[in-house]
Amino acid sequence: MADTPERATDASGTTDAAPSPPAYTAREMMAIAAGRFIADGDVLFAGTGVAMLAATVAKRIHAPHAHIFFETGGIGPQLDELPMAVADPRVMAYADLNAGLVEAFSYVANRRLHTIAFLGAAQIDRYGNMNSTVIGDYDHPTVRFSGSGGACDAGSLASGFIVFMQHGTRKFVEKLDYLTTPGWLEGGESRRHAGYRRGGPLAVVTNLCVLRFRKDTKAMYLAERFPGVTVEEIVANTGFVLDVEGAGVAKPPTAEELRILRDDVDPQRLILG
Amino acid sequence: MAERNGLEGKLMTVEQAVARFVRDGSQIAVGGFTINRNPMALVYEIARRRVRDLHLVVHSNGQALDVLVGAGCVGRLEIAYGGNGRFAPTCFRFRKAVERGEFLVEDYTNNQMTLRFLAGALGVPFIPSKSGLGTDVLAREGFPPDVRGRDGVAPHKAHLMADPFDHGEDQVALLPALTPDVALLHAQQVSTDGTVRIRGLTFADLEQCKAATTVVVTCEEIVPASFLKLEPDRNSLPPFLVDAVVPVTYGAHPTACPYFYDYDPAHLNLYKAAAKDDDQWPVYLEEWVYGVESWDAYLDKVGGAQLARIRANTVAGYAPGLDRR
């Protein structure tokens, strides 16, 4: 599964990020900020947790003609209820079609489609490479996570991917303990030289900000901080030297975006917390 | 059912199926995906029989994996993902066992594992993929050299090569085929001649069953062969690939079986509380696995009202409005 350890249930980002009305939580801001990356008509590959929320929000608000699919084989479901895992039967209800993993990955990798994956991980580095396997030595890990699931596949094969992370120095690290999902690898042209024809991370959405990657070096930079969050706070929570040149401020969620997210997408607050 | 003759020699109980086909050291592919259609009745019986040193080969597995690991049945594991969505971002017994070094683990990805089963089904020794180039998934081997090259373990985890058709401009990773001893599957329907119909998502179940030497299928119901033959387009596996058929109502509980029942949030929460806690885990195993006298007794413990709550809407396939907190 293209999910991340911890993130799905991590409640540390749910404090209010801004005093200005309407009040909203960091997780709500994350879901809405990520949804804004989606263009109408895109084909979206969603993992579990906030990723699923963002894909659902994108479809309801920003991109009604986007198509959501899941690696389990649920292709274009209606998503009347929020799934809690990519194998939740809610990813198959009233779908375009139901199949299996071979079919799902043939859409992830399909050359005709512009597929965007929503992923997460335990660690990320400045080039958007991610770890969802272990903390510590691989042979004797101090912490074991779920493993790749489909995250490495989506990172390898999709047209691009968007990452969700809680911001913190243990998550934004200089060096990954294990490289599960390929980002821009060592930056520059290294991803292409490794044998990839397309893809790579487009943005990282955290509880504090939106980060993107410079066109030439492929290094991460601060694109937009969320309202009420300072640049210093973001830098202090990043375990590598972060490029903050030219950073702007994200537009806060509108009342309508929040209403759809809360009332239609996750009324039981299964993922919003 | 008059047509049941077609199942002669295949129709059996969970106890008979496990006793006949699952041995210490067997290589087992487990059907389903995290919280959906795990063959739990078979898993509980494997745990009860104290089968040891299983070599599990799975993509994204949740409940079945965690119970087998927690019951000490697993010696080797090739896996892409051990989690149960919101109920367990990482499966608890799996996590503890890996951190304690209790068995050998080899990490692959979902696409890689699926392709490896497909290769096994097609009779090719390996299959190319473009997943994981430049990552530790391909660079790091989890199984030590001394277990490789025998007992169904490939000599290498993967092999990188240049595309021979484009003058070496493109890179691919070759992955070894998998041919498990046994595939365990829970399906909604099996017909009186052994045809299998899976409803909803098929995950990599079909590839796993076609790659395996033996296929054991539990099912919610046995239906007339003539009924499944009315719409053969909807069928999943032919009778000649199926070795054992075991009717078990609610046989995937607490995972979902679409159009029959949803996953059971109450049980998965109860499981989570026990699986996180080393002291509570043996209590859970005793109460829900070892000490359960029969499948009827298991369902009685779950409770009629709870089984009614998770009953799927027959159109939607899940239980709309189910409290999933």
- CATH of residue B198: 3.40.1080.10
What residues does A225 pair with on adjacent strands? A209, A249
Residue B10 domain-assigned? yes
Q: Kindly state whether B258 is in contact with chain A, defined as any CB-CB distance less than 8 angstroms.
A: yes
Residue B324 domain-assigned? no
Question: How close does chain A come to B290, measured CA to CA in Å?
Answer: 27
Among candidates A83, A90, A194 on the partner chain, residue whose Cβ is nearest the Cβ of B171: A194
Residue B272 domain-assigned? yes
The proportion of chain B whose per-residue pLDDT surpasses 90, expressed as a percent, equals 95
Residue B269 domain-assigned? yes
Neighbours of A273 (CB within 10 A): 16
The structure tokens 């081997």 sit at B141
- The confidence score (pLDDT) of residue A60 equals 83
Among candidates B111, B202, B316 on the partner chain, residue whose Cβ is nearest the Cβ of A73: B202
Cβ contact B98–A190 (<8 Å): no
In this structure, of A8-17, A210-219, A249-258, B169-178, the range with the lowest mean pLDDT score is A8-17
pLDDT grade for A273, boundaries at 50, 70 and 90: confident
| ipTM confidence score | 0.96
Q: Kindly state whether A98 is in contact with chain B, defined as any CB-CB distance less than 8 angstroms.
A: yes
pLDDT digits (tens, 9 = 90+) for B253-264: 999 999 999 999
In sequence order, which ranges of chain B are alpha helices (DSSP H)? Answer: 14-21, 40-48, 63-70, 92-99, 110-122, 136-139, 205-211, 225-228, 265-275, 281-284, 295-302, 304-309
Task: Examine the pLDDT at B208 and tell me if it is beyond 90.
Answer: yes
Structural domain span for residue B277: 2-309
Cβ contact A87–B89 (<8 Å): no
Q: If you count them, how many residues does chain A have? A: 273
- Residue ranges of A 24-53 with Cβ closer than 8 A to chain B: 48-49
Mean of the per-residue pLDDT values for chain B?
96
- Residue ranges of A 154-173 with Cβ closer than 8 A to chain B: 156-157
CA distances from residue B74 to B150, B176, B285 in whole angstroms, order as listed: 18, 21, 16
Cβ contact B89–A8 (<8 Å): yes
Cα separation, A33 vs A26, whole angstroms: 10
Indicate if A232 belongs to the active site: no
Closest chain B residue to A132 measured between Cα atoms? Answer: B81
A7-265 belongs to CATH 3.40.1080.10:
yes
- Residue ranges of B 34-93 with Cβ closer than 8 A to chain A: 34-36, 59-60, 62, 79-87, 89-91
Residue B192 domain-assigned? yes
Residue B103 · residue B74 · CB < 8 Å? yes
pLDDT grade for A21, boundaries at 50, 70 and 90: low
Cα separation, A18 vs A36, whole angstroms: 19
Cβ contact B136–A138 (<8 Å): yes
pLDDT digits (tens, 9 = 90+) for B93-130: 999 999 999 999 999 999 999 999 999 999 999 999 99
Question: How many domains does chain B contain in total?
Answer: 1
B275 half-sphere exposure, CB direction, 13 A CA radius: 30
Q: Helices (H), strands (E): how many in chain B?
A: 12, 13
Q: Which residues contact A195 (CB under 8 A, 6 or more apart)?
A: B130, B133, B134, B170, B171, B172
- The confidence score (pLDDT) of residue A16 equals 45
Phi, psi angle pair for B20, to nearest 5°: -80, -35
The SS3 call for residue B145 is helix
Chain-centre distance for alpha carbon A227: 20
Size of interface A-B (CB pairs under 8 A): 235
Cα separation, B66 vs B94, whole angstroms: 6
Cα separation, A130 vs A178, whole angstroms: 8
Question: Which chain A residues contact residue B207 at CB under 8 A?
Answer: 100, 102
